[in-house]
Structure 1
Amino acid sequence: MKLTKEEKAAGLLLPERLNKAVQTFNDVGYVVIENVYDAAFLDTVRTAYETELARFIQSKGGLAALEGKTFGKNHIGFFPPLHLPLAHTQLVAQPVAVQLMQALLGEDIQCAFFHTNTALPGSGIQPVHRDTGHLMGVAHPVATLVLNIPLCDFTIANGATEVWPGTHPILGGVLDDERAAAFPSVRTEIPVGSFILRDMRMWHRGMPNDSDNPRTMYAIVYERGFIRTPVITVPRTTWESWSDTAQHIFRHNQVVEDTEHTPRVWGA
């Protein structure tokens, strides 16, 4: 679905288009909205992000030292610092994304997981997996979703994620490539400026990046208000730059002085 000029100017989907987007999400487990972000803004974000990613890789001893410790060969799961522009309010609380998330999760949504996924050139293929299971072991409406914001065009060549539409309500059994082969899948080829909302129970996997450039996306997780995720810290400068909506969504986290902010790490 592509934002119309009127919707982009208003910062909201029209009611009938919102209903269509919600129905699509509920039916297949994800929805794509195009023409949301300006390319110049994302260029600025990508430049800042690549600096932080290089610093992270260097701090771990280089890419070779991360082999076997990442999300697959040359797939980097990274918690960037919540400094500007990396945590701009348009990324953490973009109005159309919030409109959709509130329609899916309720108005009391929350966030405590600010993450990115980068497939570097030469990355391998991930096993088919889901990011979370069902609450209490039963199928239910979406409780947790992830907002993916690509920082470049997603293509087959650079490793556009493979997803299995309609798998989000499936219960039980071992999830592996053999089981997934019985279901149809698609690749999320989308232009930069888009976002994807995905039910975290949907089957998916990262694919090889055969291009010469990194393929990066944000992976920010939003939940219904009753779920409790370990809190993160938010730098005060970032917090004060955020809209009221962004502050509400991150309300359970801890605001600290900029120098005291430490990004979350895996295992903590």
Structure 2
Amino acid sequence: MASMTLPRHSKEITSIRLTDSEICSRQINSHNLQRAIEALHQDGVVVVENAIPPSYLDELNTLMTPDAHTLYEKRSTHRNFGPETGNIQQEVPVQKAIDRYREQIPEAEDGEHQAQNPLSMVIANPFATAIIECMLGPKPQLRFLSANTAFRTKEAGRQPPHIDVAFDFPRVPFGFCVNVNLVETTATNGATELWPGTHTGTDVTVLMPDNDGVIRKELVEARRKLCPPVQPVLPKGSIIIRDFRLWHAGMPNRTDEPRVMLVTV
């Protein structure tokens, strides 16, 4: 595909705020479910703002931030798109998190669900699961769990627009990434840059040769003129679901606090 002609898309990402009833029942209502599905089909991304109790994220952040500092000082730690990005790969301490939740979070805050697996609200969120089931079919599988942690870096330390796959993937929805930032996230502390609508025209021909997942520069600039990227403001407790084919890029964290973002696929 020599060029990429895409329809114009909204410059604002759809953000859904759940009702008290939805939060209590852990079931997304039909109207919000429809909004989410429409957003994923049109823009390739949707935000659900209050999908996770903030206290859960506070506990996980308390666990993971010290680990992040330790990893950042090690030369062997994987740096996403090179050391200048300040973005490291970090594993999620699943069992430690489960134990900490059961110790620190009152049972009344989570009821019967906590006795099963208190981490399920974070890494197998019921609202994300319901939305993805409507896109892929029943019983979607979780195949990958990790975290991208952004440390302070210079403006030049951004990632190139890319996708996370480089094989000959289909031009239909085949996988989704669910991100959970452990703190409120804005452009200041490295909210991911997203390119709404790019999933609809993306296949392996948009990628640079011999450069896994990176989008060809001329296509990036052409798309920028049609529909520029956005860095959404994400309140603590938000989940962001994006189509695997959507262009995105890690951006500089300009604060002194590391920003941990969970990644599930």
TM over 0.5, yes or no?
A: yes
Residue in 2 that maps onto 1:196: 240
Residue in 2 that maps onto 1:13: 28
Residue in 1 that maps onto 2:139: 108
The answer to whether 1:41 aligns with 2:56 is yes
1:97 aligns with one of 128, 133, 140: 128
> For the structure 1 residues 133 and 15, does the alpha-carbon distance in structure 2 shift closer, same or farther, using more than 3 Å as the test?
farther
How far apart, CA to CA, are the structure 2 residues paired with 1:30 and 1:150?
A: 15
Residue in 2 that maps onto 1:179: 219
2:199 aligns with one of 152, 168, 181: 168
Residue in 1 that maps onto 2:211: none
How far apart, CA to CA, are the structure 1 residues paired with 2:247 and 2:171?
A: 15
Q: Which moved more, 1:95-104 or 1:193-202?
A: 95-104
> Which deviations, in whole Å up to 9, do the C-alpha atoms of 1:108-132 show, x marking residues without a partner?
2111211101111126201111012
How far apart, CA to CA, are the structure 2 residues paired with 1:69 and 1:153?
A: 23
- State the Cα distance separating 1:94 from its structure 2 match: 1.7
Residue in 1 that maps onto 2:185: 154
The answer to whether 1:139 aligns with 2:171 is yes
How far apart, CA to CA, are the structure 2 residues paired with 1:155 and 1:2?
A: 18
The answer to whether the 8 A contact 1:133-1:201 is kept is no
How far apart, CA to CA, are the structure 1 residues paired with 2:240 and 2:55?
A: 20
How far apart, CA to CA, are the structure 2 residues paired with 1:80 and 1:149?
A: 12
How far apart, CA to CA, are the structure 2 residues paired with 1:176 and 1:83?
A: 41
Residue in 2 that maps onto 1:255: none
The answer to whether the 8 A contact 1:153-1:190 is kept is yes
How far apart, CA to CA, are the structure 1 residues paired with 2:67 and 2:150?
A: 15
With a CA cutoff of 8 Å and minimum separation of 6, indicate the structure with the bigger relative contact order: 2
How far apart, CA to CA, are the structure 1 residues paired with 2:189 and 2:217?
A: 21
CA RMSD of aligned residues (A): 2.1
The answer to whether 1:71 aligns with 2:86 is no
- State the Cα distance separating 1:53 from its structure 2 match: 2.5
- State the Cα distance separating 1:5 from its structure 2 match: 1.4
> What letter corresponds to residue 202 of structure 1 in structure 2?
L
> What letter corresponds to residue 24 of structure 1 in structure 2?
A
Q: Secondary structure at 1:217's aligned position in 2? A: strand
> Which deviations, in whole Å up to 9, do the C-alpha atoms of 1:45-68 show, x marking residues without a partner?
1001113333444xxxx25x2588
- State the Cα distance separating 1:177 from its structure 2 match: 4.0
The answer to whether the 8 A contact 2:183-2:260 is kept is yes
> Which deviations, in whole Å up to 9, do the C-alpha atoms of 1:59-96 show, x marking residues without a partner?
xxx25x25884433210122233324168121122211
Query: How many pairs align?
Result: 214
- State the Cα distance separating 1:198 from its structure 2 match: 0.7
Identity %: 31
- State the Cα distance separating 1:133 from its structure 2 match: 4.8
Gaps of 5+ in 2: 1-15, 99-117, 209-214
TM-score by length of structure 2 reads 0.74
> For the structure 1 residues 214 and 37, does the alpha-carbon distance in structure 2 shift closer, same or farther, using more than 3 Å as the test?
same
Residue in 1 that maps onto 2:69: 54
- State the Cα distance separating 1:102 from its structure 2 match: 1.2
The answer to whether the 8 A contact 1:52-1:80 is kept is no
How far apart, CA to CA, are the structure 2 residues paired with 1:12 and 1:208?
A: 35
> For the structure 1 residues 37 and 108, does the alpha-carbon distance in structure 2 shift closer, same or farther, using more than 3 Å as the test?
closer
The answer to whether the 8 A contact 2:79-2:87 is kept is no
The answer to whether 1:211 aligns with 2:255 is yes
The runs of at least 4 aligned residues of structure 1 exceeding 4 Å deviation read 66-69
Gaps of 5+ in 1: 222-268
